[in-house]
Structures are given as structure tokens and as C-alpha cells.
């Protein structure tokens, strides 16, 4: 009996072992299933994008939009010619300031803008002349302007107080402009607001270079005082100065191709006054020739259009005489005849009025009354 019991216990042991094995396998499988999620979780989603705060605003510039001195107006691939040698005409009027001449550029090449005396736009301002500067492989033109102080003009020595830095040709005092006769041409018998300051006259070799930078140009940089002046409020050229430039563009003799760098009109006493009694030629300049009204330089297209427009009034002028000759034909003498016919009509109207009295003639019953009254006279 013991053997069957042993077999039974063995079977139970084996069965229990299988059950335990299965249970262990199940537990292991469950453990494995639970371990799988234990892999490193995916990274959390990135936070919502928020743009960085804007940078602190830069301090506002202390200069006017038109102030940054010189605004590039023209460009050229060739440097401007040397400055011509000329005398300064005498100041024509108290309060006028000198503006030196310079080379300008157009599609026809360089042409000279004569120096001239001009009235400033307001009291207390000085003129910073224009200049050419070599920038980025080209020669750029920087326009002039009016301001309380002289700015940078390329270090170009224009003369007559503009030695390349600052200005020593005059100064404002108490609302009046005074002229330094050591460097400016002023008739002291007419203009009394003058002084002499020979210390400001430097015996420097004048090289006549008309541009800054580049090969052969003036090697100058703005001084601290000039940089400060560039941040001040500036005033553009006056209408008289603009007219002066237009007048120069119209004159083909001021082109460097025509005068070889020696303009026959190097300076004028007043803006746009290009008459013989107010101009100063450059040394070595060709004789000035009279200019026909239509002979304008092709340097500026507006200048070429103006003579054409000026010709139109001349073309229309003959039309006025034509209309004036229209009354001459006999057509208008016949009009007086028509009035004569009209005068014949008025008599007809009075004739009708005369007929009106005829109507009252029959009404002249009083004329009939006389006969009865006559008869009455007979009855007695």
C-alpha cells in the first residue's frame, strides 16, 4: 500500500511543480509586461514659443533728417577737376555771405557752379560748402547746407575763408554779420561791419584738389567740432541758390569739356547774375561768348525743355496779330452797314406810332362837334 501512496504523492508533487512552474511563468510574464513600460519615457513637449523681448530702443538721434550733413546727390566714376583759380568779387550788399564755387556732375560730365554772394535764410547761420568724397569705389557728391556752425566739407581748401576746416571769413555778432577783410573782398567805404584777423590766414600751399579720399584726394576726417555740427539742425540751399545752379547748368561754357577746367564765369556778385558786369572769369579761361536763348546745355533735361517751352509763346505771339488782322477784312466794315439797316428799322417803328395818332384822328369827334355847334350858330 505504501508504493501507491508514494506514487500518488509523487504525482501530486509533479503536479504541484507544474502548477508552480506555470504560476512562475505567468508571474514572470507579468513582470516582463510590467517592465516594458519602464523604458525611458519620451521627452516632454517643448514649451510654447515666446519671442524674446525686443531690444531696448536706441536713443533718438539728435539731428534733423536733412541735417546729416551731406546727402549724396550725384555719383561719378572719375574724380572732379581741380578747383579753378579766380578772384572773389566784392560783396554787393551788407549781410550777404560768400558761398564758394564747386564742380557739379551730370550726364554730360562735370560743370562749374560759380561762387557767389547770397543772403542767408535766417540770421545766425553759416554756409557749409558741398564736397566730393571717394566712397565705395565711386566719387559721391555731398550737398552744402546752412547751420549755426560749419560742418565737414571734405578738407577741401576753397579759399576766401574756407581753408579746409571751419570758416574764418566772417562771424555773427549781435544779429549782424561782420566780414574779415583779411580773406574776403569787401568795400569798407560801403560796408562798415568789418574786422581784420591776419592770424587766421595760414600760409598753406594751395593744391586746388576738389575732392576727399581716393587717389590724390584730400586725406581729411571730420574733427570733433565738425561731427557735432553735423548733428545740428540744418537749412537747405535757398531758392536764390537753387536758381543759381539752374542758371549754371544752362550755360554750356561752364562744362569742363568746353573750358578745360577754367570756366569763363568762375564767380558772380549775386546769385544767377551772369551778366558781364557782375562775373569774374577764372585765370586762363576762354573768352565768354554770348549765349543764344535756346543754346542750353544737355546736362540737365529740364534745361533743354525750357527753351522749347519758351518757344511756344513766340509761336503763339503771331497768332495774336492774326486775330488782330481779322477785323481788317471787309467783313467788319459790312457790320456797320448792318447797323444802318437796323437804323432803318427804327423809322418803321415810329411809323407805326404815327399810325396810332391816325386812329385817334377818327376819335376827333370834337371836330364833328364844331359843325353841330356851327349849325347851332345858324339856328339863332
Model confidence pLDDT, tens digit, residues 221-279: 999 999 999 999 999 999 999 999 999 988 999 999 999 999 999 999 999 999 888 89
Name the band, by pLDDT with cuts 50, 70 and 90, for residue 288. confident
Residues 185 and 90 sit within 8 Å (Cβ to Cβ): yes
Rounded to an integer, what distance in angstroms lies between the CA atom of residue 173 and that of residue 32?
Answer: 101
Name the band, by pLDDT with cuts 50, 70 and 90, for residue 15. low
Strands ordered across the beta sheet of 170-173: 170-173, 176-180, 194-195
First to last CA, the chain: 216
Q: Is the pLDDT of residue 200 over 90?
A: no
Whether the model pTM is above 0.85: no
Rounded to an integer, what distance in angstroms lies between the CA atom of residue 142 and that of residue 135?
Answer: 11
Residues 104 and 111 sit within 8 Å (Cβ to Cβ): yes
CA 314 to chain centre: 31
Q: Is the pLDDT of residue 165 over 80?
A: yes
Rounded to an integer, what distance in angstroms lies between the CA atom of residue 150 and that of residue 39?
Answer: 78
Q: Is the pLDDT of residue 158 over 90?
A: yes
- Of 35-49, 103-117, 304-318, the range with the lowest mean pLDDT is 304-318
Percent of the chain exceeding pLDDT 70 equals: 55
Only one residue has cell 544752362, namely 250
Report pLDDT for 137.
92
Q: Quote the mean pLDDT of the chain.
A: 73
Residues 79 and 141 sit within 8 Å (Cβ to Cβ): no
Report pLDDT for 5.
53
Rounded to an integer, what distance in angstroms lies between the CA atom of residue 264 and that of residue 86?
Answer: 10
Cβ atoms within 10 Å, residue 199: 8
Higher pLDDT, 143 or 28: 143
For the residues of 59-89, what is the DSSP string, one character each? PPPSS-TT-SSPPEEEEESSPPPPPPP-PPP
Amino acid at each position: 500500500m505504501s508504493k501507491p501512496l508514494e506514487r500518488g504523492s509523487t504525482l501530486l508533487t509533479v503536479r504541484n511543480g507544474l502548477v508552480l512552474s506555470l504560476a512562475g511563468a505567468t508571474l514572470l510574464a507579468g513582470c516582463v509586461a510590467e517592465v516594458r513600460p519602464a523604458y525611458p519615457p519620451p521627452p516632454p513637449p517643448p514649451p510654447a514659443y515666446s519671442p524674446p523681448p525686443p531690444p531696448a530702443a536706441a536713443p533718438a538721434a539728435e539731428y534733423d533728417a536733412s541735417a546729416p550733413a551731406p546727402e549724396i546727390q550725384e555719383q561719378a566714376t572719375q574724380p572732379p577737376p581741380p578747383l579753378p583759380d579766380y578772384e572773389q568779387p566784392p560783396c554787393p550788399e551788407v549781410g550777404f555771405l560768400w558761398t564758394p564755387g564747386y564742380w557739379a556732375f551730370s550726364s554730360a560730365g562735370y560743370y562749374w557752379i560759380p561762387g557767389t554772394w547770397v543772403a542767408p535764410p535766417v540770421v545766425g547761420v553759416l554756409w557749409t560748402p558741398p564736397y566730393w568724397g571717394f566712397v565705395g569705389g565711386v566719387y559721391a557728391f555731398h550737398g552744402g547746407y546752412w547751420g549755426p556752425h560749419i560742418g565737414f566739407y571734405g578738407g577741401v581748401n576753397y579759399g576766401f575763408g574756407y581753408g579746409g576746416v571751419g570758416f574764418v571769413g566772417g562771424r555773427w555778432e549781435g544779429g549782424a554779420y561782420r566780414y574779415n577783410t583779411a580773406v574776403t573782398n569787401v568795400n569798407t567805404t560801403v560796408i562798415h561791419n568789418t574786422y581784420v584777423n591776419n592770424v587766421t590766414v595760414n600760409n598753406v600751399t594751395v593744391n586746388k584738389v576738389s575732392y576727399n579720399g581716393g587717389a590724390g584726394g584730400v586725406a581729411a576726417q571730420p574733427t570733433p567740432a565738425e561731427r557735432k555740427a553735423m548733428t545740428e539742425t540744418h537749412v537747405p540751399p535757398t531758392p536764390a541758390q537753387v536758381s543759381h545752379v539752374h542758371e549754371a547748368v544752362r550755360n554750356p561754357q561752364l562744362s569742363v569739356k568746353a573750358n578745360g577746367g577754367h570756366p569763363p564765369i568762375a564767380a558772380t556778385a549775386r546769385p544767377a547774375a551772369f551778366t558781364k558786369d557782375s562775373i569774374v572769369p577764372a585765370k586762363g579761361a576762354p573768352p565768354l561768348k554770348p549765349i543764344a536763348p535756346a543754346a542750353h546745355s544737355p546736362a540737365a533735361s529740364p534745361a533743354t525743355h525750357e527753351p522749347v517751352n519758351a518757344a511756344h509763346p513766340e509761336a503763339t505771339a503771331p497768332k495774336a496779330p492774326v486775330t488782330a488782322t481779322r477785323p481788317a477784312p471787309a467783313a467788319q466794315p459790312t457790320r456797320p452797314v448792318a447797323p444802318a439797316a437796323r437804323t432803318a428799322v427804327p423809322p418803321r417803328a415810329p411809323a407805326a406810332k404815327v399810325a396810332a395818332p391816325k386812329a385817334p384822328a377818327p376819335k376827333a369827334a370834337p371836330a364833328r362837334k364844331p359843325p353841330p355847334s356851327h349849325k347851332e350858330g345858324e339856328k339863332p
